[in-house]
Every structure is written in C-alpha cells, then in structure tokens.
Amino acid sequence: MLKIVVLDGYALNPGDLSWELFEAMGHLTVYPRTPPELVAERAKEAAIVLTNKTRLGEKDFASLSRLKYIGVLATGYDVVDVAAARRRHIVVTNVPAYSTHSVAQLVFALLLELCHHVQEHNEAVKKGAWSACADYCFWNYPLIELAGKKMGIVGFGRIGRQVAAIAAALGMELLVHSRSAVDPGGLALRVLGLDTLLSECDVLSLHCPLTPETAGLICARTLSLMKPSAFLINTARGGLIVERDLADALNRGRIAGAALDVLAVEPPPPDNPLLAAANCIITPHIAWATFAARGRLMRIAAENLKAFLDGKPVNVV
C-alpha cells in the first residue's frame, strides 16, 4: 500500500480539519512536527512526503530511496532543494493561490489598527478612561482616514492585486512596483520605479517573493526615501526587511509605524529589535491561517497528489 508521511501537519491541521482525502489514497502517517534529525527515519519507507516548513535536501534524499513525490503544504517551496529533487526524479509540488483573500484581509486589519489604534482605545475604555472623561468621546492617538492616501504595492501577483482592489474600494490611490508586466484589471493605478513609489506612498505593502534580489529590500537606504508619516505593512516574507534598520527608523520617527506578520527568523529570538520598536505591530505569521484558507490548502494539496498518482502532475515547481 502506498505510504504517505506528513512531516509537520500541526500548522495546517491542529485538529479542526480532516486528513481523509489523503487517507483515501494510501497509508497515512501524520507527525505534528519533525526535527531535522528524524526526517530520514520517519520518511524512510514513504513514496510520498508532505511538508510545510520541515526542510528536505540532498542529504535526506540519499537515504530516502522510495521517495517519488514531495507535496509542499504552502505556496513557498524554499524548504525543498528542488534542484536535488529533480536530479533524483522526485516530483515537487506546491499549493498556490489558496490564501489570497485571507492575506489581503490581514493587510487591512493591520493597517486599520495603525490608523485607529483599536486595541489601545479598547484597553483605555476597559481601564475606565472613558468613564472618567468630561466629554462624550476621546482619543489617545491621531485617527487617520485612508481615502485619498497613496497605497504603494510592491509585487503584483494575486495577493497584490487583491490588496489593490480593497485599497481602491477604500478610496486610496494605487501605486505599483512589479518585476513583471502589470495588468491593471480595470483598476486605476500608476506603475512606478521602486524609489519613486517609496517616496510617494503613504502606505507601503510588500507582496513580492523572497529572492536574492529582494532580500533586504527594505533597509536604511530605502526607508530614508519614505515619508515620515508613512506606514509599512509586510505579510510576505520577513527577509525582505533589514530588521535592525526598520527598528532604528521606527524609534527615530523616520517612518510613522509598521505592522508585520512575518519576521526573518520565526519564532523570533527575544532580542529581535522589532519586538521593542516604537509603533510596531507584530502578529505571529497568521495571515494564511484562516479556517477557510487552510481548508482550501488541504483540498488543493490532495488534488495535487491525486493528479500525480494519475500520471498528470499539476502545480509542479
């Protein structure tokens, strides 16, 4: 019977989803997490391995003689040495486009928190500040309207386009920088060079992949181009930002605020400078993780495997 091993199933399915689609295709073993030293042992009999963040490379492949297929339970597939897999005729697939709406939704949850400080105002009310107020209302922070502001979007794939559509609905002006041709899709937007976009935007939202060219894209130089009133949102990859440079910019008031769902090292070490930076919101890589998005991911990953078993692989990387 076909042996299928999931190396790190907990993030995708902490218990609220079912693995039944995979169970129908073979003998399934699911490990919540797998440390690097146990990868070879746990996957040694498997023809099919599914992984989210557990790395697989040449050293692992050398001891996995039965391995024919790796299904990455995510869009990003840098956890797999794809070139080494290809040399060994191991098919690698990923799951694109499952979290577009969820990620775009969090972009605006983060941005609106920066604009309205909802949590801080809620806490102030609960601590009695409103009850003690002489007026019918109060606010502890400037309140910012997004209509008329310029939304700068770096990377214009599916998520970037969805963010643009929401920003347009809020009355924002759209500025886009992309390495590939931009299809406006009916949206009014301007395509700009990166430096020009940085200097003009009121909000910068990152939606590009992490590559050698984009690593450290946001650094002291590029931050210096931004308005002191600008906000930075990152739901893409933490490595796009030089974290010490961003912390310095925030602490010095060089930009007004940042909201990040991703960091360069996850979980972050306690000395990450952004954990104590001024006006910096950090969420623990949750943009992708709504119940709906994880359900889609599970379904598409199963469809990928079924297509491979039928001899017609899809979403091959």
Could you write out the DSSP letters of every residue in 201-219?
-SEEEE-----TTTTT-BS
Which position among 27, 285, 299, 303 bears the catalytic label?
A: 285
303 is catalytic: no
- Residue 266 bears catalytic tag: yes
Active site residue 27: no
Which two three-digit tokens encode residue 113? 């928190």
The whole-angstrom separation of Cα 196 and Cα 176 is 10
Instruction: Give the active site residue among 237, 243, 294, 296.
Output: 237
CA distance 85 to 94: 14
196 φ, ψ to 5°? -65, -45
Q: Half-sphere exposure (CA, 13 Å, Cβ side) for 260? A: 26
User: Residues, the chain, total?
Assistant: 317
Of 20, 123, 213, 266, catalytic: 266
| Structural tokens at position 316 | 């091959």
Please calculate the CA angle 182-186-190 and round it to the nearest 5 degrees.
Answer: 50
- The residues carrying an active-site annotation are 237, 266, 285
